[in-house]
Chain A
Amino acid sequence: GAGVSQSPSNKVTEKGKDVELRCDPISGHTALYWYRQRLGQGLEFLIYFQGNSAPDKSGLPSDRFSAERTGESVSTLTIQRTQQEDSAVYLCASSLRVGTVPEAFFGQGTRLTVV
């Protein structure tokens, strides 16, 4: 696609429910990132996928968080048993691994509200 697409744009869920957030990266981008942005704060790294390599999961805050990516396409971020502190904007980005333009292209994010 033309840009990184994330769905849903907004999600309200009850505490304790599971949620799935989806990210469609730019076609041809081998790297995909998930970040969490709490209200008024910076971007907190969650997980990074690069082709068929093992993902870098070092930023996942707990075992309630998991993510998958199918090849070099769609990724889903799953949060199980959501808690109020999970409320945040979840941003997905994709980039080329190497090259002259290693910038990350971001989606518009999913705003998750846990009530």
Chain B
Amino acid sequence: AQTVTQSQPEMSVQEAETVTLSCTYDTSESDYYLFWYKQPPSRQMILVIRQEAYKQQNATENRFSVNFQKAAKSFSLKISDSQLGDAAMYFCAYRSPGAGTYKYIFGTGTRLKVLA
């Protein structure tokens, strides 16, 4: 069974600085999808960025980028020029692409605090 591990329960970053959130996963599949979701206090889960495992190029969305290391099964999120609005819980998620169940498996989350 696949598992997702986020080893940092909480992180802090100064406004305008850069922070990296860690995520590792375990799978025997060769193809899959990885996601980072943001959950602000409103509870609304918002997709931040996604990565297809077959793509070697790291995904980028504006200030958000990932460092995808397939062999190491690592999928970290880098937030550049941090803003107060980035403060939230961040969840890493895994999903299989193939036949069978398509459930998303989430890590336990990292609470990001942004200091003014």
Binding site for B on A (CB under 8 A): 31, 33, 35, 41-43, 45, 48, 50, 56, 58-59, 89, 91, 93, 95, 97-98, 101-106, 108-109, 111
**Interface residues on chain B, size class:** 20 to 34
Report yes or no: B103 in contact with A48, Cβ–Cβ below 8 A. Answer: yes
Q: In the complex, which residue of chain B has the Cβ closest to the Cβ of A103?
A: B47
Q: Which of B33, B42, B105 contacts A102 (CB 8 A)?
A: B33
**Total residue contacts A-B, CB cutoff 8 A:** 57
B45 at the interface (CB under 8 A from A): yes
Q: What are the 5 closest A-B residue pairs judged by CB atoms, nearest first?
A: A106-B45, A42-B108, A43-B106, A56-B101, A109-B43
For B95, the chain A residues whose CB sits under 8 A away are: 102, 104
For A56, the chain B residues whose CB sits under 8 A away are: 101, 103
